[in-house]
């Protein structure tokens, strides 16, 4: 058995030296995970992008097989503006923040679609981008040592690339927003103008966690080949986010606002897709594609671009990214806690290329009397099934306690998935509990669980010198995150040598405070403390849970 964190390069005129980010392998003698790639990567690029840099090693979503696809028909033409779902066109200039502009635009349409806001909503782009690099520890202090560091460098002679022009991607937005920050209004964190001294710019740290209007519930990346799925998601969730190569002077027909690039170039710009027209004429493009049809796109270059800020992007454009992104947000519930160890935006994952399953887990300690109501996890797997297990009274490994909940389901698309528990689990202060996620894919090597590990990237600067320009530091500790070996035993992801550490798995637990007197601590009934002849662990499990609200007994012994 070999477990890998595989990263297949997606070129945006960039190349990465050494191994792709994130490979691991199982040593055949010890059956233990061994880190196999260098801790830093060198990126070379053409400095002609508008806020997009896709991470090395992206696992793109697989097109969903016909037998798994959701059924339905769609109109030939759809425009979300006609349904009041789209906010005003913004202008990202003078900063390279297309990732934040497109994601916030998508978030606005999503909140309007869910009737959580009206079309006057204006979300702050700088809020998420700023707190990505200037992290504020989460309220539970579980990610306090995690850092995303940007180091200003001279990109070309006389131009210094600072954190505000540090780029992002649809994938990174999933990693960032799944752990915080959430969404806040433009009034709380206004977009800095071109006269702002960015080296001295700051936001009050207290707003990172107390000013959010909504939080990410789910996010998906879907193959651009799944046109019907993307259309369904746009109609269901408000809009979508895609990437392409933007070069107005070469490929935009100024008269029609139609854009088509016939050449397979790198992606350099993220935009918000708000509709489509399957019959949009090919002759409207400066260079005529082979087919009719186009996506209706909202740009972030102000109303002077295209048709008052919108344009038609041909279905046949040769620079379209492999994935579209959809983000689904929800209101923040008072008293809800998020247990998580993944505080950086490093893109890594673990999988077994010889198996169609992968299992990983986090162990947490409850702070208060709480009810575990849902769990979240990140995966680049497509059309997979999953099993969630919750143990209480955990000691040293994820299954070293008593099983309190087991639940299974399936998902069609890669991304971040929040799964409500059919049977919430009662916790009391001090309880050590585990959240285990096992993913089963359709074929070997396709089951992944994402991880957060330390790594750095180097760039060749204007002087031809190699230097670190972004660095992600994951402050993992022993006994937090685990993966399951082929023999069924659990191995800690932590390693004292940071270069060989997997860091933490991206699994989260969401709890709500409960005012009633919670069940007594599982430590009081730990089977290891029982003497011969006393009640069995299974019977204790039933006694401890029989009075829980909406409890459905699960008699599966540990």
Strands 153-156 and 490-492: unpaired
The tokens 């969730």 sit on which residue?
237
* pLDDT (0 to 100) of residue 65: 83
Distances (CA, A) of 309 to 15, 95, 248, 304: 33, 17, 13, 6
What does DSSP assign to residue 199? G
CA 171 to chain centre: 6
The answer to whether 153 touches 459, Cβ cutoff 8 Å, is yes
Q: What's the pTM?
A: 0.87
d(CA 296, CA 457): 35
CA 356 to chain centre: 22
- In three-state form (DSSP H/G/I as H, E/B as E, the rest C), the secondary structure along 464-478 is CCEEEEEEEECCCCC
* pLDDT (0 to 100) of residue 523: 52
Domains of the chain plus CATH, in order, are: 74-328 (3.90.70.10), 335-455+479-545 (2.60.120)
d(CA 235, CA 530): 57
Residues contacting residue 502 through CB under 8 Å, at least 6 positions apart: 5, 24, 33, 35, 348, 350, 451, 453, 476, 481, 483, 493, 494, 495
Residues contacting residue 536 through CB under 8 Å, at least 6 positions apart: 527
Exposed / middle / buried, residue 164 (Cβ in 10 Å: 0-12, 13-18, 19+):
buried
* pLDDT (0 to 100) of residue 40: 52
Q: What is the pLDDT along the chain (558 residues), one digit of tens a residue?
A: 444 433 322 222 222 222 223 444 444 454 444 443 434 566 655 555 666 677 777 889 988 887 777 777 889 999 999 999 999 999 999 999 999 999 999 999 999 999 999 999 999 999 999 999 999 999 999 999 999 999 999 988 898 999 999 989 999 999 999 998 789 999 999 999 989 999 899 999 999 999 999 999 999 999 999 999 999 999 999 999 999 999 999 999 999 999 999 999 888 899 999 999 999 999 999 999 999 999 999 999 999 999 999 999 999 999 999 999 999 999 998 889 999 999 999 999 998 888 999 999 999 999 999 999 999 999 999 999 999 999 999 999 999 999 999 999 999 999 999 999 999 999 999 999 999 999 999 999 999 999 999 999 888 899 999 999 999 999 999 999 999 988 899 999 998 887 788 999 999 999 998 865 545 555 554 444 333 333 233 333 333 333 333 333 332 332
* Strand runs labelled E in 136-257: 147-150, 153-156, 159-161, 214-223, 240-244, 252-253
Query: What is the maximal distance between C-alpha atoms in the chain?
Result: 86
What does DSSP assign to residue 62? P
d(CA 439, CA 59): 16
CA 456 to chain centre: 19
Residue 12: φ, ψ to 5°: -125, 60
* pLDDT (0 to 100) of residue 43: 60
Q: H/E element holding 129?
A: helix 125-133
Token digits for 307? Answer: 């048709």
d(CA 330, CA 276): 26
d(CA 250, CA 246): 9
The answer to whether 278 touches 307, Cβ cutoff 8 Å, is no
- Other Cβ atoms closer than 10 A to 263: 12
Strands 414-427 and 348-351: unpaired
């Amino acid at each position: 058995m070999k477990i890998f964190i595989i990263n297949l390069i997606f070129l945006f005129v960039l190349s990465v030296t050494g191994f792709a980010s994130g490979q691991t392998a199982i040593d055949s003698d010890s059956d233990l995970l061994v880190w196999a790639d260098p801790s830093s990567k060198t990126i070379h690029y053409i400095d002609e992008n508008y806020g997009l840099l896709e991470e090395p090693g992206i696992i793109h979503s697989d097109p969903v097989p016909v037998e798994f696809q959701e059924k339905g028909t769609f109109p030939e033409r759809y425009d979300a503006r006609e349904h009041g779902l789209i906010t005003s066109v913004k202008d990202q200039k003078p900063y390279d923040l297309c990732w934040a502009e497109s994601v916030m635009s998508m978030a606005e349409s999503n909140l309007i679609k869910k009737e959580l806001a009206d079309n006057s909503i204006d979300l702050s782009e700088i809020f998420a981008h700023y707190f990505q690099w200037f992290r504020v520890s989460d309220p539970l202090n579980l990610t306090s040592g995690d850092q995303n560091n940007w180091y200003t460098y001279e990109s070309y002679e006389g131009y210094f690339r600072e954190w505000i022009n540090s780029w992002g991607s649809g994938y990174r937005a999933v990693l960032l927003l799944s752990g915080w920050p959430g969404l806040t209004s433009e009034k709380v964190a206004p977009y800095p103008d071109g006269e702002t001294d960015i080296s001295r710019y700051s936001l009050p740290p207290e707003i990172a966690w107390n000013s959010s209007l909504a939080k990410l519930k789910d996010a998906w990346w879907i193959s651009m080949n799944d046109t019907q799925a993307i259309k369904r998601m746009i109609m269901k969730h408000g809009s979508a986010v895609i990437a392409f190569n933007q070069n107005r002077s070469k490929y935009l027909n100024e008269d029609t606002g139609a854009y088509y690039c016939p050449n397979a170039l790198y992606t350099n710009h993220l935009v918000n897709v708000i509709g489509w027209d399957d019959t949009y004429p090919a002759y409207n493009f400066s260079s005529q594609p082979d087919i009719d049809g186009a996506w209706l796109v909202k740009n972030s270059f102000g109303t002077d671009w295209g048709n008052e800020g919108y344009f038609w992007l041909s279905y046949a454009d040769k620079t379209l990214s492999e994935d579209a992104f959809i983000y689904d947000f929800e209101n923040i519930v008072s008293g809800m806690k998020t247990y998580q160890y993944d505080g950086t935006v490093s893109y890594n994952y673990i999988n077994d290329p010889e198996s169609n399953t992968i299992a990983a887990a986090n162990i947490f300690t409850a702070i208060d009397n709480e009810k575990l109501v849902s769990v979240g996890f990140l995966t680049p797997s497509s059309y997979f099934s999953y099993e969630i297990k919750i143990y209480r009274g955990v000691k040293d490994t994820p299954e070293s306690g008593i099983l309190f909940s087991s639940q299974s389901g399936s998902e069609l698309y890669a991304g971040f998935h929040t799964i409500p528990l059919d049977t919430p689990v009662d916790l009391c202060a001090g309880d050590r509990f585990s959240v285990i996620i096992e993913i089963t894919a359709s074929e070997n090597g396709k089951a992944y669980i994402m991880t957060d590990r330390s790594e750095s990237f180097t760039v060749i600067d204007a002087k031809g010198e190699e230097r670190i320009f972004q660095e992600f530091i994951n402050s993992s500790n022993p006994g937090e995150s685990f993966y399951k070996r082929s023999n069924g035993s659990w191995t800690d992801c932590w390693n004292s040598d940071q270069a060989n550490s997997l860091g933490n798995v991206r699994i989260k637990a969401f709890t709500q405070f409960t005012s009633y007197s919670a069940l007594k601590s599982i430590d009081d009934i730990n089977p290891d403390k029982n003497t011969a002849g006393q009640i069995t662990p299974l019977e204790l499990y039933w006694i401890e849970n029989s009075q829980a609200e909406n409890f459905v007994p699960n008699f599966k012994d540990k």
